Structure 1
Amino acid sequence: MKLVSVVIPCYNYGWLLPETLDSLLAQTYPHWECLIVDDGSTDTSKAVAEEYQQRDARFCYVYQANAGMSAARNHGLRLACGEYLQFLDADDLLAPRKLETQVAFLEAHPTVDLVYGDMRYFQHGSPQVLSRSGDMLDQRWMAEVHGQGEAMVNVLVEKSIMVVNAPLLRATLAKRVGPFSEDLRSVEDWEFWIRCALAGARFHYDNTPDAWAIVRVHPTSTSQNLLRMHTSEVAMRRRLATTLAAAGAQVASRINAAAINDNQFYVAMYNMKNGSILTGIKGYVRLAYTTKRYGYYLKSIPYWLKHRLFGAAAQPQ
């Protein structure tokens, strides 16, 4: 049986880590190793991980000084021995047959580099209620796509298509693509999938509930910080613009440029409403200069100043 390396970065999630590790113990596919990379936690993470390590030799606890989730994942990748890789955050879960189902798929389809399935969210404390969207309104957002090359690049540049624990991928793909970008503190997994597509990886969506990724929604989860995600997406996309231009990916470049403007607009509006007014003004000026839509964006500045200073209730047109 082929070994699956499960990489779990953990920072102060000792209170949730047992459920995550229990979901691995419940896997019907037994041939796995789990690398728990403690990213400088100050809570009970070390004690919890070491307890599981003593219970089952497939768990391996390692510690690093705090350097971020990407650095922790990269640390785990350097130690991984498996032919397949499964990424799993310390607050999330896997359906019991996920590894079995996706290993079997990759074994039967040697030209596929990465297989991913559907996912479900649950609110912390209510694991019996599942939803396809984090707002618990059960709205599908994940794309069901197959393929490789330009078409796959375009899809991934337009939007993220999966959560980090949805896919199982070949370790050879990760070695070909390189490590996670450690300067990104959010959307780093999305950027990694884009680089996989640019490297020619073949993606496949396999629609079976047996392979669900299960994602916990709670106040401290990274996905709840929308400003951080939008800011990180702008940084990621600015870097991506150079890569896409060098690759001659004209369609993807246009998609990326439009998305940069959309995210900059959100960040500027957020700062005008809740953050640094000066940063918000700079954001709108940058958008006006970049898009040449001076009237549209510059008129937003006095509107939001009025809204911020005097509590105006109207929304921008």
Structure 2
Amino acid sequence: MSTTKPTDAPMPLVSVLLCTKNPNPARLHEAVLSVCRQQYQHWELILYDDASSPIGQAAIRSAASLDTRIRLVRGSVSRGLAHALNCAVQSARGAYLARMDDDDRCAPERFLHQAAFLLAHPECDWVGSFAKRFDDRGGWGDFTVPIAPTAHDFLHNSPFIHPSVMFRAESLARAGGYNESETCRFCEDYELFLRMTAMGMRGANLPLPLLFYREDRASYQKRTIKRRFSEAAVRFRGFSALRLPFMKKLLYTAKPLALCFVPRSVQYAVKRRLARSNYTKGDHS
């Protein structure tokens, strides 16, 4: 793992974790620009290149040149998102760790609101937010989640939008970071939130759309049968650790398996219809 652009600048309060592999150059550029345009300026961006091809590396280098607060870290071998995130965490210097995906965008006030919330609420180990869904045609729906999630809120779906979340670095370290096991692949965020909650840690969501969350037809093509089985395994272990009611545990563990029988194009169409009707509940299904 190599790192470029070391700095002697003052220690940032917020470290942004953005891991990518062979990104869409334009989308990555916009994602990084949304960090650069934050109203809160005391941040650094750890841009982790998860062993991209030479073309991908060029796009990532271009994005890294947008601001001197961006530090490019490159992995020599791709071992999945959880490993990439753990590597990015190791390079981070901030007391708060903000997640970001390579095709989403932050609202300009995101870090300002989340850092202020964590400073004012020492009982919370992380904070997420609401989001706005969008694709190449524009915005198409709100993404809302519970403001003060409880264990039961994990049954339907994760009550946190992963790329909207800002963690306390010490809390993430206490939890042991992201689980890199194959059994958690594609569900590392859901598993982490379940595990941290079972450990007695606490998260909250700000009722503000601080993230623009890209969700399009291509997003649903990634939701393979293998991913559904991984999610079912994560659900069963997590629900057991939270001591949720047995019948509810079984019912909601089966949810991702049942979705294997619903065409992904239908799932996408239903989600858009619900969003337009303003009945949607934020989820990762």
CA offsets per residue over residues 87-138 of structure 1, 9 Å max, x none? 11111111111001111111122222222211111112x34x3412xxxxxx
Mapped to 2, the partners of 1:208 and 1:250 lie a distance apart of 29
Q: Identify the structure with the greater strand proportion.
A: 2
Mapped to 2, the partners of 1:84 and 1:20 lie a distance apart of 19
Equivalent position amino acid for 1:6 in 2: V
Mapped to 2, the partners of 1:250 and 1:88 lie a distance apart of 30
Q: Which residue does 2:283 correspond to in 1?
A: none
RMSD of aligned residue pairs (Cα, Å): 2.5
Mapped to 2, the partners of 1:187 and 1:208 lie a distance apart of 25
Equivalent position amino acid for 2:23 in 1: Y
Question: Any gaps of 5 or more consecutive residues in structure 2?
Answer: 1-10, 264-285
Q: Is the 8 A contact 2:151 2:244 kept in 1?
A: no
Q: Structure 1 130/222 Cα, relative in aligned 2: closer, same or farther at 3 Å?
A: closer
Equivalent position amino acid for 1:25 in 2: C
Residue 18 of structure 2 aligns to a residue whose secondary structure is strand
Mapped to 2, the partners of 1:222 and 1:263 lie a distance apart of 13
Q: Is the 8 A contact 1:223 1:229 kept in 2?
A: no
Superposed structure 1 runs of 4+ greater than 6 Å apart: none
Q: Which residue does 2:94 correspond to in 1?
A: 82
Mapped to 2, the partners of 1:33 and 1:259 lie a distance apart of 39
Q: Which residue does 1:102 correspond to in 2?
A: 114
Question: Any gaps of 5 or more consecutive residues in structure 1?
Answer: 133-139, 272-317
Q: Is the 8 A contact 2:195 2:238 kept in 1?
A: no
Mapped to 2, the partners of 1:205 and 1:238 lie a distance apart of 24
Residue 162 of structure 1 aligns to a residue whose secondary structure is coil
1:155 pairs with 2:157:
no
Q: Which has the higher contact order (CA 8 A, sep 6+)?
A: 2
1:225-240 → structure 2 map (5 Å cutoff): 225=223, 227-240=225-238
Equivalent position amino acid for 1:174 in 2: L
Mapped to 1, the partners of 2:208 and 2:254 lie a distance apart of 36
Q: Which residue does 2:196 correspond to in 1?
A: 196
Q: Is the 8 A contact 2:194 2:238 kept in 1?
A: no
Q: Which residue does 1:205 correspond to in 2?
A: 205
Select 1:257's aligned residue among 250, 261, 285: 250
Mapped to 1, the partners of 2:163 and 2:56 lie a distance apart of 20
State the TM-score, normalizing by the size of structure 1. Answer: 0.71
Residue 162 of structure 2 aligns to a residue whose secondary structure is coil
Q: Is the 8 A contact 1:12 1:42 kept in 2?
A: yes
Q: Which residue does 1:116 correspond to in 2?
A: 128
Equivalent position amino acid for 1:21 in 2: V
Mapped to 2, the partners of 1:228 and 1:91 lie a distance apart of 23
Equivalent position amino acid for 1:188 in 2: E
Q: Which residue does 1:279 correspond to in 2?
A: none
Q: Which residue does 1:10 correspond to in 2?
A: 20
Q: Structure 1 44/23 Cα, relative in aligned 2: closer, same or farther at 3 Å?
A: farther
Residue 214 of structure 1 aligns to a residue whose secondary structure is strand
Q: Is the 8 A contact 2:104 2:212 kept in 1?
A: yes
Mapped to 1, the partners of 2:162 and 2:221 lie a distance apart of 12
Q: Which residue does 2:35 correspond to in 1?
A: 24
The Cα of 1:181 is off from its aligned counterpart by: 1.9
Mapped to 2, the partners of 1:202 and 1:153 lie a distance apart of 10
Aligned residue-pair number: 249
Q: Structure 1 95/43 Cα, relative in aligned 2: closer, same or farther at 3 Å?
A: farther
Q: Is the 8 A contact 2:129 2:165 kept in 1?
A: yes
Q: Identify the structure with the greater helix proportion.
A: 1
Give % identity. Answer: 26
Larger radius of gyration: 1
Q: Which residue does 1:165 correspond to in 2?
A: 163
Mapped to 2, the partners of 1:216 and 1:193 lie a distance apart of 21
- Greater Cα offset, 219-228 or 108-117: 219-228
Q: Structure 1 175/123 Cα, relative in aligned 2: closer, same or farther at 3 Å?
A: same
Q: Structure 1 238/202 Cα, relative in aligned 2: closer, same or farther at 3 Å?
A: closer
Mapped to 1, the partners of 2:41 and 2:233 lie a distance apart of 39
Q: Structure 1 224/122 Cα, relative in aligned 2: closer, same or farther at 3 Å?
A: farther
Q: Is the 8 A contact 1:113 1:173 kept in 2?
A: yes
Equivalent position amino acid for 1:9 in 2: C
1:39 pairs with 2:41:
no
The Cα of 1:189 is off from its aligned counterpart by: 0.7
State the TM-score, normalizing by the size of structure 2. Answer: 0.78
Equivalent position amino acid for 1:48 in 2: A
Equivalent position amino acid for 2:133 in 1: Y
